[in-house]
Amino acid sequence: MPTSDSRAAGGTRRRRRGPRTWLAALPLLVFTGLCFGIPLGAMAFGAVTRTDPAGGATRLTGEHLARSLQGPYLGSLIGSVQLSALTALVGGVLGVVIAQAVVTSRSKGLRSAALTASGVLANFGGVPLAFAFIATVGISGVVTQLADLADLGWNLYSFTGLTVVYLYFLIPLMVLVIAPALDGLRPQWREAAQSSGATGWQFWRHVGLPVLAPSLLGGFVLLFGTAFAAHATAAALVGGSVPLVTLKIADALSGNVLTGQENVALALGLDMILIAGLVMAVYLPLQRRSARWLR
């Protein structure tokens, strides 16, 4: 059918093309609607309603959301936000420094090796990472015993420990995100700055950083989101000793706490999405403003 149509005059072709191509995108939209929209809708619905077990009547309630913002649940939300913000900040800065070192190096081999390694390590989150760190700096880990870390007060199963572990996949992620942007800093700009007598610091302050700002912010948000959503690493590593919202949700879902907590888990899930959305909302205007520079 397409052959005869598209051979026709340009006007008709353009008009007919619309609906046909629209159909090609339909499966994706239907799929995300079903497999993403329905679970999310169910979660949001369950978070704000309460079904009477006897009568089966469902009514609106803010009880679950209120309970998710109290006591240990609130503590876990705060713990997650603190851990994510800290790791995203540290990981972002270190990632930029490493990416700059890699990008400015003249060795092509180092560059491709570093980017490949970053690609692998950024995906090395989760369970295997937790076990690698347990074997390295856990209680009977190799480095712990070699360097007597335990005597220095080191504890892997703590907030600090988790930070060190999270950075292992966040830094490579930042390198991956920021390396293309650092490549985009044109050498001519630096030459122009230098020939107008600018120092290196002035170049970064007035040219480099403003141009990189959207990518830096994007990287920070991505890192924050990744750290905030991370569950497997923490689950395999600390169990319950560090209050994290993902661990609390998993506990509530698997019924490790009082029954009837499932809806609080849904409310906590909603809280997480709201926080992630809030980060986006802060980031959006900033990004739009600074995106002008990269045009």
Chain centroid offset of residue 115 CA: 19
Helix axes 71-104, 245-253, angle to 10 degrees: 130
List, in order, residues 6 or more apart from 237 with CB less than 8 Å away.
130, 133, 134, 156, 157, 161, 162, 165
| Least distance from another protein to the Cβ atom of residue 280, Å | 6
Phi-psi region of 255 (alpha: psi -120 to 50; beta: other; left: phi over 0): left
Q: Which is nearer to another protein, 41 or 72 (CB)?
A: 41
Closer Cβ to another protein, 242 or 249, answer by number: 249
- Shortest Å distance, C-beta 163 to another protein: 13
Q: Can you name the residues that pair with 59 across neighbouring β-strands?
A: 50
User: What type of residue sits at position 141?
Assistant: G
DSSP 151: G
Supply the minimum distance, in Å, between the C-beta of residue 246 and another protein.
5
Nearest to another protein of 74, 251 (CB atom): 251
Name the residue with tokens 């851990």. Answer: 83
Residue 70 or 112 having the CB closest to another protein: 112
Shortest distance, CB of residue 71 to another protein, whole angstroms? 19
C-alpha torsion sign, points 85, 89, 94, 100? positive
User: Smallest gap, in angstroms, from Cβ of residue 66 to another protein?
Assistant: 18
Which is closer to another protein, CB of 74 or CB of 198?
Answer: 198
Strands (E), 31-114: 49-51, 58-60
Residue 4 C-beta: closest distance to another protein, Å: 12
Interior/surface letters 47-86, b for 16+ CB within 10 angstroms, e for the rest: bbebeeeeeeeeeeeeebbebbeeeebeebbebbbebbbb
How far apart are CB 103 and another protein at their closest, in Å? 5
C-beta closer to another protein: residue 42 or 66 = 42
Q: Minimum CB separation from another protein for residue 251, in Å? A: 10
Relative orientation angle of helices 71-104 and 159-184, to the nearest 10 degrees: 40
CA angle 149, 155, 156 (to 5 degrees): 105
* Cβ closest to another protein, residue 159 vs residue 190: 190
Q: How many CA atoms lie within 13 A of 2 on its CB side?
A: 6
Residue nearer to another protein on the CB measure, 79 or 141: 141
